[in-house]
Structure formats: C-alpha cells, structure tokens
Amino acid sequence: MTRRVLLRCDSTGDLYPIIAPFPIPHAFLVSQHTWHQRLGHPGSDMLRRLVSNNVISCNKEKPPVLCHACQLDKHVRLSFVSSNTIVSSCLDIVYSDV
C-alpha cells in the first residue's frame, strides 16, 4: 500500500541474492509467540537468548502468557482404575479404545 521497497534482488546468473535493507522492515518481523511455535515451543529464556544473539528478530508485541500446545504437553493423564477381574481363558475380556 505504501509502495515502499522492502527487498531488492539484483540477479547475477542463476542465483538471486536478496539484499535486505537495515533495519529489517516491520513487515518481516513476527511475534515472539510465532517464533515459539516455529521453533518447536522452546522456553522464553531460549527465545530471549536467540533475540539477543540476533539469530531471530521479533516485533515488540508481548507474547501470550500461556501457549495452548505447551499446556496440552504438560497435561498429565490419570492412571486407569485398578481391576479385580479374573479371567479364565484368552479373550474373555477385550479392552479397546475406539
């Protein structure tokens, strides 16, 4: 919409080098939460280290406190109820999870 050049490509042969202007345009910056998802849900300390070492660039948007996928990953499943059932032959009882 602004018609501002974001990237320029000067083709030399079969390669297309991309020269990015500095600083990185805001259009290319994503949130810390997006990097959290892209990198396999690392902790916030790891993301801060990547930003401080200029490995990734983030916008100033505050990351959400809770990540839904991380919460599901930490969810603990309750154990099965103990059974006192005694069987006399194979396949008297069949358990299935359908």
Give the Cα separation of 46 and 89 in Å (integer). Answer: 55
Percentage above 90 pLDDT, the chain: 0
Q: What is the pTM of this model?
A: 0.48
* pLDDT for residue 84 is more than 60: yes
Average pLDDT, the chain: 77
Q: 56: exposed, middle or buried (C-beta count within 10 Å: 0-12, 13-18, 19+)?
A: middle
Give the Cα separation of 48 and 54 in Å (integer). Answer: 10
* Chain segment 40-81, per-residue pLDDT in tens: 888 888 888 888 887 788 877 776 677 888 888 877 777 778
